[in-house]
Structure formats: C-alpha cells, structure tokens
Amino acid sequence: TYTEVVSRFDREYYTPDDCLVTDGLQSLPDGHAVAMRETHDWISGFITQQVNKQGRREAICPFVEPSLQKKTMFYSIANLDEPNEMNSVERELRHHAEIFCALEPREMPESFIKSVVVIFPETRGPLLLETTDPSRDVQGDLLEMGMLVGEFFSTCPFATSFNPKLFALRSPYPMYVLRSFIDTDWRFIAQVDRWREIYRERFGDPPEGLAHIGSFRGRVIEKVRHLAARAGIKLKRKRR
C-alpha cells in the first residue's frame, strides 16, 4: 500500500479523500492542514475547469480528474530544515521523486495518471523554479527516472501553452507536482539540449504536431502568438 511505501521514506502522504473529512489531516499542524486542503480545493476545482484549447473543450490539465477518480494522486508537506535554501529544497524534491517511483502503479498505462503534490508552505515560490533551472541537474535527472516535475506558486510567470493569458501555475501555495514523463511532454522540455536527448532516448522523435517546438521557427511562432494575445488579436490556427 502507499502507506507502507512512504513509511520507508520517512514522509507522510495523504489522499484527496483525507482532505475531505474532518479528521483526515489531524496529524498535521493546523497551518499545514489548511495549506493542504486549500491546495486540494484549487487542484480539484480550478485545474479541472474546462477551457478552449485550439478549438476543443478540455480541462486545464486533463490528468487531474482521472488521477482523482482512480485515487492515484497523493499530497505531502515538505519537511525542510532550511525552507529557503536551494540545496535543501533540491534534496526534498529528490526524496519525493524516489517515493514517486516506489508508489503503485509503477507501470504504464496505469502510472500515466499517478501524481505526487509536494507543498512547500514556508518556501518562497520562485526558489522552486530556481532549483529546477536548466543550468542545474535535477530536472534532467528526474526525466531520466521517468517523471516530469512542474513548479507552481502564486507569482509563477509562465502562461499555458494554449492561452498566453491563462496563468494556471499560480497556485495558492508553492508546490512541486510530479507525474509520469510522456511523449507529449516535448513542448515542456524542447528548449534544453540534455532534456531533448533524454526524450529521444525514451520516445524517439516527438509527435508530428509538436516537432517544431524548440526550433527557431517554433520560437518565432510562439513570440507572434504572445504578442497577438497581448494586443487582443485572434490568430487563426492551421488545422493539422
């Protein structure tokens, strides 16, 4: 069970169901229990909202609802001696990456929707992004382990790839989200040489509709889209 797994790693993990009952988070300090409940409410509410994506309606993140339904989403509060020290944050992230690998389900396709949400209530949000910067090894190491990490915090500067006005990574508390690395993640890793190599070793060439991302042409297209969105101009997208 997940309880047996996390006990080996000296961390407490909770499920969405724990967030919905009065005594589900009683082992946490009051402030941390509030942070976890508010994070769960944000994930299960905002992130599951239906939005327009290039002519189709889909959840902001389509992984979340299946993960909630299949009970393969897990929450934890970061355990840090120095909550605003980069090496401390990295050690905690790597520790939870090991837990992610040990948790069931561990094989595709079931592990496709497994996710681990690690909340950092006392850490300044931008430090999470600095810790996984491409100039450091941690993001690439996690990709080699078969997972992608997302950085969420209230001032995250990155908009969604489908709507430059939607900042879906702006969560109520700083957090890392770990999930399985899949072939459509090319859009998130295409800008970094090492990450592209890891992707190609695992999946081969990216899907046809994503292959241009990371190229000079792709960067120009994205720049034009962002400028158009800021100006309120709607661009027609080429149907593939």
pLDDT of residue 60: 94
pLDDT of residue 91: 97
Question: Of 201, 7, 3, 15, which Cα lies nearest the Cα of 114?
Answer: 15
The tens digit of pLDDT for each residue in 85-97 reads 999 999 999 999 9
Give the distance between the most distant pair of CA atoms in the chain.
54
Q: What is the 3-state secondary structure (H, E, C) of 176-239?
A: EEEEECCHHHHHHHCCCHHHHHHHHHHHCCCCHHHCCCCCHHHHHHHHHHHHHHHCCCCCCCCC
Give every CB contact of residue 63 below 8 A, 6+ residues apart in sequence: 112, 113, 115, 179
Integer Cα distance of 41 and 35 in angstroms: 10
Asked if pLDDT for residue 78 goes beyond 60, the answer is: yes
Asked if pLDDT for residue 156 goes beyond 70, the answer is: yes
DSSP 8-state assignment for residue 140 = H
pLDDT of residue 162: 85
CA angle 65, 10, 101 (to 5 degrees): 45
As a dihedral over the C-alpha atoms of residue 132, residue 134, residue 138, residue 142, rounded to 10 degrees, the angle is 100
Integer Cα distance of 33 and 194 in angstroms: 38
pLDDT of residue 1: 55
Asked if pLDDT for residue 120 goes beyond 70, the answer is: yes
pLDDT of residue 132: 97
DSSP 8-state assignment for residue 77 = E
Question: Of 128, 126, 110, which Cα lies nearest the Cα of 118?
Answer: 128
Provide the residue count of the chain: 240
Task: Tell me if the bond preceding 105 is cis, omega within 30° of 0.
Answer: yes
Q: What is the percent of the chain with per-residue pLDDT over 70, rounded to a whole number?
A: 85
Give every CB contact of residue 102 below 8 A, 6+ residues apart in sequence: 5, 8, 9
Asked if pLDDT for residue 224 goes beyond 80, the answer is: no
pLDDT of residue 233: 58
Asked if pLDDT for residue 68 goes beyond 50, the answer is: yes
Q: Which residues pair with 119 in a beta bridge?
A: 77, 175
Question: What are 21's two structure tokens?
Answer: 């009952």
Residue 5 confidence class, pLDDT cut points 50, 70, 90: confident
